[in-house]
């Protein structure tokens, strides 16, 4: 059998990458009490049998004994030890016991996600050492990220509707036309006090005329007339247009493994501590993913904090939080985004948005 030993810790993705990369027949999961709950998630997502073995984060002597028993148990099997996770004491226990006591050939693996490499040290039965690097080619889906947290995706869309495709020309105009920027200053009144959506007409000087009701959307801008038999004008002009535009741009680029929109989270663990259960757009490439939040109006600090928190929780260090803003945020918001590692894109970057986001996922 091909046996993989993983050291469980807060970062789950390197261990999942190792399971997929080596295609192990069985995984021995060395874990402290703190991370024992990961055991069932790994087994479900990978479909590889797991055996949980308890170790202590800072007890070198006990861990050496545990490792010694494992080495005796797996004699004759192909053994790979992934020492990427765990505490330094846990990793040192593995390294020392293997180097000093192993009677068979063993491979020591480090998952270098920065350079997309699995760095291997092959230890022969005669204690000879040989180094090798292997490229990481595996992918982690959005669904797998959620399952590793014991949560699940409720619904999502993976293609444009006929209506959304029909009005993409208008959506691009809303993104780039300075004359239409004032539309979004009136957004707060569109759904005021949760009243039923009435018909609206918004006019700003001679720049444009805007109308929608339950049957149609009409926007006149100079000689240009945009007219659609769509009954969702309120939702469209309060932000759906930007989500549709960004999704279309990223989906058509074919640069990503997955592009989803309107992803709703079914929090199995109860009420969300993030007060947020929907992501506008989600993209993945390889084992990295991005949560993309689209904001047609003003961006507040609470938007930044929520996006950062939910990205960090579900995607960890392999996740990228991205804000697509119709209007450049104020200086203090931009500074907060920089502090939290939230990337901000504005209309002038739209034409190469797919290229820039792909760079962030490499």
Residues 120-157 pLDDT 10s: 999 888 888 899 999 999 999 999 999 998 888 889 99
CB count within 10 Å of CB 192 equals 7
* Of 28, 13, 24, 42, nearest in space to 111 by CA: 13
Laid out side by side, the sheet with 343-345 consists of: 152-157, 258-266, 278-285, 288-295, 319-325, 343-345
Give the per-residue pLDDT at 198: 52
**Where residue 31 sits, what CATH number does that domain have?**
3.40.50.10770
User: Does residue 110 lie in a domain region?
Assistant: yes
276 and 356 co-located in one domain: yes
Confidence class for position 67, pLDDT limits 50, 70, 90 = confident
176 and 109 co-located in one domain: no
The last residue of one of the domains, among 110, 138, 166, is 138
User: Does residue 218 lie in a domain region?
Assistant: no
Whether pLDDT at 338 is above 90: yes
Q: Is 67 helix (H, G, I), strand (E, B) or coil?
A: helix
DSSP class of 330: P
269 and 319 co-located in one domain: yes
User: For 21-30, 145-154, 186-195, 272-281, which range has the lowest pLDDT when averaged over its residues?
Assistant: 186-195
Sequence-ordered list of residues with C-beta below 8 angstroms from that of 320, at least 6 positions apart, any chain: 288, 289, 290, 291, 311, 343, 357, 360, 361
Confidence class for position 272, pLDDT limits 50, 70, 90 = low
User: Does residue 283 lie in a domain region?
Assistant: yes
DSSP class of 312: H
Q: How far apart are CA 356 and CA 343, in angstroms?
A: 10
- Phi then psi for 320, rounded to 5 degrees? -125, 115
Q: How far apart are CA 116 and CA 362, in angstroms?
A: 8
57 and 129 co-located in one domain: yes
Return the higher-pLDDT residue of 207 and 318. Answer: 318
Give the global pTM.
0.86
For the chain, the domain total comes to: 2
176 and 111 co-located in one domain: no
336 and 190 co-located in one domain: yes
Domain assignment of residue 171, given as a range: 153-197+236-360
**Where residue 338 sits, what CATH number does that domain have?**
3.40.1350.10
pLDDT digits (tens, 9 = 90+) for 160-206: 999 999 999 999 999 988 888 777 765 555 555 555 555 566 655 57
123 and 165 co-located in one domain: no
Question: Which ranges constitute the DSSP H helices of 203-362?
Answer: 233-235, 241-252, 301-315, 331-340, 353-360
User: Does residue 213 lie in a domain region?
Assistant: no
CA 32 to chain centre: 26
Residue 306 buriedness (CB in 10 A; 0-12 / 13-18 / 19+): middle
User: Does residue 36 lie in a domain region?
Assistant: yes
Which CA distances in Å does 35 have to 49, 149, 238, 326?
17, 12, 42, 41
Q: How far apart are CA 92 and CA 96, in angstroms?
A: 6
Residue 168 buriedness (CB in 10 A; 0-12 / 13-18 / 19+): middle
Return the higher-pLDDT residue of 93 and 295. Answer: 295
Q: Is 133 helix (H, G, I), strand (E, B) or coil?
A: strand
CA 294 to chain centre: 15
User: Does residue 303 lie in a domain region?
Assistant: yes
Span 235-256, average pLDDT? 93
60 and 185 co-located in one domain: no
10 and 126 co-located in one domain: yes
Confidence class for position 288, pLDDT limits 50, 70, 90 = very high
269 and 335 co-located in one domain: yes
Taking the alpha carbons at both ends of the chain, their separation in whole angstroms is: 33
92 and 166 co-located in one domain: no
Q: What is the CA radius of gyration of the chain?
A: 26
Residue 247 buriedness (CB in 10 A; 0-12 / 13-18 / 19+): buried
With b for 16 or more beta-carbon neighbours within 10 A and e for fewer, the 62-83 pattern comes to ebbebbeebbeebeeebbbbbb
72 and 185 co-located in one domain: no
pLDDT digits (tens, 9 = 90+) for 204-244: 557 888 888 888 899 988 888 999 999 888 888 888 999 99
Residue with tokens 């009420």: 271
DSSP class of 329: P
User: Does residue 221 lie in a domain region?
Assistant: no
Whether pLDDT at 269 is above 70: no
Give the per-residue pLDDT at 189: 58
pLDDT averaged over every residue in the chain: 88
Give the per-residue pLDDT at 23: 95
User: Does residue 332 lie in a domain region?
Assistant: yes
Range among 12-16, 103-107, 340-344 rated most confident: 340-344
Task: Give me the torsion for CA of 113, 117, 118, 122, rounded to 10°.
Answer: -140
């Amino acid at each position: 059998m091909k046996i993989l030993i993983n050291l469980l810790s807060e970062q789950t993705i390197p261990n999942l990458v190792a399971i997929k990369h080596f295609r192990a027949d069985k995984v021995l999961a060395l874990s402290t009490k703190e991370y024992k709950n990961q055991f069932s998630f790994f087994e479900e997502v990978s479909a590889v049998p797991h055996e949980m073995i308890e170790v202590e984060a800072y007890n070198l002597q006990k861990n050496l004994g545990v490792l010694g028993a494992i080495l005796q148990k797996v004699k004759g099997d192909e053994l790979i030890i992934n020492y990427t996770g765990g505490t330094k004491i846990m990793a040192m226990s593995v390294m020392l016991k293997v180097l000093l006591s192993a009677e068979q050939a063993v491979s020591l693996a480090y998952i270098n996600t920065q350079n997309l490499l699995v760095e291997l040290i092959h230890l022969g039965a005669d204690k000879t050492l040989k180094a090798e690097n292997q490229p990481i080619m595996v992918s982690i889906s959005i669904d797998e990220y959620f399952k590793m947290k014991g949560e699940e995706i409720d619904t999502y869309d993976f293609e444009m509707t006929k209506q959304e495709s029909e009005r993409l020309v208008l959506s691009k105009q809303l993104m780039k036309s300075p004359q239409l920027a004032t539309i979004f200053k009136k957004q707060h009144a569109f759904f005021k006090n949760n009243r039923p959506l009435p018909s609206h007409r918004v006019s700003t000087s001679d720049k444009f005329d805007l109308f929608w009701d339950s049957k149609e959307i009409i926007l006149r801008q100079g000689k240009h007339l945009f007219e659609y038999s769509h009954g969702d004008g309120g939702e469209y002009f309060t932000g759906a247009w930007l989500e549709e535009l960004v999704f279309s741009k990223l989906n058509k680029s074919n640069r990503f493994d997955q592009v989803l929109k309107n992803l709703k989270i079914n929090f199995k663990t109860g009420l969300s501590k993030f007060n947020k259960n929907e992501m506008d757009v989600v993209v993945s490439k390889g084992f990295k993913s991005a949560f993309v939040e689209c904001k047609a109006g003003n961006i507040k600090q609470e938007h930044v904090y929520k996006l950062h928190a939910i990205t960090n929780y579900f995607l960890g260090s392999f996740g990228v939080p991205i804000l697509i803003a119709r209007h450049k945020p104020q200086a203090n918001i931009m500074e907060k985004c920089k502090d939290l590692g939230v990337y901000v894109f504005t209309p002038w970057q739209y034409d190469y948005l797919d290229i820039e986001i792909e760079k962030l996922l490499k």
